[in-house]
Amino acid sequence: MSAPLLEQFIEALRVLPGVGQKTAQRMAYHLLDRDRRGGARLAEVMADALMKIGQCKQCRDFSEGEICGLCASASRDRQQLCVVESPVDRLAIEQATGYRGLYFVLHGKLSPLDGIGPRELGLDQLGERLAQGGVEEMIIATNPTVEGEATAHYVAQLARQHGVRPSRLAHGVPLGGELEYVDRGTLSHAFGSRSEIP
Amino acid sequence: MSAPLLEQFIEALRVLPGVGQKTAQRMAYHLLDRDRRGGARLAEVMADALMKIGQCKQCRDFSEGEICGLCASASRDRQQLCVVESPVDRLAIEQATGYRGLYFVLHGKLSPLDGIGPRELGLDQLGERLAQGGVEEMIIATNPTVEGEATAHYVAQLARQHGVRPSRLAHGVPLGGELEYVDRGTLSHAFGSRSEIP
């Protein structure tokens, strides 16, 4: 009985992650009832962003221009390169740590069954960049999953081929966590990698 | 360090209800990384819907045309009129009950402090409709809140002025609920309104 356009609107909202039928309905009705202006602006900015935002030629992070602001910045340390799976990971590291080097975004992880190989992750591009020299340490910050570890292994080899020192994030018990609730694999790893108290 | 357009995009997503900074970020990155096409379609449909969907002249529900499909339908009972606060409530009643009458959507509730009086709720329009005759029962389905009750009281008076019989939804213990967890007001009301077992 509803207007078809309203149904299309609700259906279209479901492309957003974590948004099902009920939430989409609530969102559509909220915008129509209370914030048409904000909604119109969102539609405009969204269309604009999806059309104009591409990838930085150097780090493959999202960027409007050819080179992103971070890669172009003169204040970053060009001897360190941190490899992450996705732009969200880059953001998390940027917000949480004092890292001042550059990044390289893979936009995924090696997954041969899904047809995602080194090419799809831009690893040829990463190889070229390392070949140009200047990078001394490559911090590999892929996720600690099976596929992430495989990717890290591959990327580390690539680094060694170009004489770059690979490193990875420490694994162990999270700060503020309780040993009782830490999963076995993490606890076993943390126990094995214990360090001496100076 | 991010591209300003990306920041604008994330900021704009926050007009959606229940979407904060983190969720907006996740949504923007998801669309950019995995579903540019779906996002572009959403932007298009959203702009279209917000521009074209207005209110039905008869029931004030959202509608593309002057009169919505439900009001125009020949198979609905024109002697019953159900008054609801918002289009979502209409949808809920339509989906849950076998009601075959028509609706009237207030788009709010009486709230003098916020400047929402009878005019803003279209009550003059509702009065005109009742004056035309034909309606026999008015089912008042405003929310059982203080403001909703005040609105119900006002609307019921309006109905009586036009010789229309007002009714309201039953209040009581929800089906499947446990007495232990029902709030005092509801329990007291349910106790007072008990009915004889035939």
Size of interface A-B (CB pairs under 8 A): 178
Count how many residues are written for chain A.
198
Is beta strand B137-140 parallel, antiparallel or unpaired with respect to B77-84? parallel
- Both structure tokens of B196: 């004889």
* Residue whose pair of structure tokens reads 């680094």 in the numeric block: A159
| Cα–Cα distance, A92 to A96 (Å, whole number) | 6
Interface confidence: ipTM more than 0.85: no
**Rounded mean pLDDT, B81-106:** 92
Residues B118-133: b if buried by 16+ CB within 10 A, e if exposed: beebbbeebeebbeee
**Mean per-residue pLDDT over chain B, rounded:** 91
Q: Each residue of B134-143: pLDDT tens digit?
A: 999 999 999 9
Is beta strand A62-63 parallel, antiparallel or unpaired with respect to A54-55? antiparallel
Using a CB-CB cut-off of 8 Å, the residues of chain A touching B41 are 12, 15
Instruction: Choose the closest CB to A8 out of B25, B45, B68.
Output: B45
Q: How confident is the model at residue A3 (pLDDT cuts 50, 70, 90)?
A: low
Q: What is the pLDDT of residue B34?
A: 87
What's the topology of domain A4-52?
A: Helicase, Ruva Protein; domain 3 (1.10.8)
Tell me what percent of chain A is helix, strand and coil, each rounded to the nearest 5: 50, 15, 40
Q: How confident is the model at residue A1 (pLDDT cuts 50, 70, 90)?
A: very low
Instruction: Choose the closest CB to A68 out of B3, B49, B107.
Output: B3
B87-95, long-range: CB < 8 A, 24+ apart = B87/A29, B87/A32, B87/A33, B87/B61, B87/B62, B88/A25, B88/A26, B88/A29, B89/B141, B89/B143, B90/B61, B91/A2, B91/A25, B93/B141, B94/A1
CATH number attached to the domain at A62-168: 3.40.1360.10
CB contact under 8 Å between A1 and B46, yes or no, is no
CB contact under 8 Å between B12 and A52, yes or no, is no
Domain extent listing, chain A: 4-52, 62-168
Rounded to the nearest angstrom, the minimum Cα separation between B77 and chain A is 15
| Cα–Cα distance, A178 to A189 (Å, whole number) | 15
CB contact under 8 Å between B29 and A87, yes or no, is yes
CB contact under 8 Å between B46 and A29, yes or no, is no
Q: Which residue of A has its CA nearest to B19?
A: A27
| Backbone region of residue A143 per phi and psi (left: phi > 0; alpha: psi in -120 to 50; beta: other values) | beta
| Cα–Cα distance, B170 to B185 (Å, whole number) | 14
Q: Which residue of A has its CA nearest to B40?
A: A47
| Cα–Cα distance, A77 to B168 (Å, whole number) | 70
Three-class secondary structure of residue A62 per DSSP: strand
Q: Does residue A100 carry a pLDDT above 60?
A: yes
Is beta strand B77-84 parallel, antiparallel or unpaired with respect to A165-168? unpaired
- Both structure tokens of A160: 């060694």
- Both structure tokens of A89: 């990971």
Q: Does residue B184 carry a pLDDT above 80?
A: yes
CB contact under 8 Å between B31 and A41, yes or no, is no
Q: Each residue of B96-135: pLDDT tens digit?
A: 898 999 999 999 999 988 889 999 999 999 999 999 989 9
**Is residue A122 within 8 Å of residue A106, measured between CB atoms?**
yes
**Rounded mean pLDDT, A58-84:** 93
Sequence-distant (6+) residues with CB within 8 A of A123 are A106, A154, A155, A158
Instruction: Choose the closest CB to B50 out of A3, A36, A62.
Output: A36
Using a CB-CB cut-off of 8 Å, the residues of chain A touching B51 are 40
Strands (E) in A1-160, as ranges, are 54-55, 62-63, 77-84, 101-105, 137-140
What's the topology of domain B75-168?
A: Dna Topoisomerase Vi A Subunit; Chain: A, domain 2 (3.40.1360)
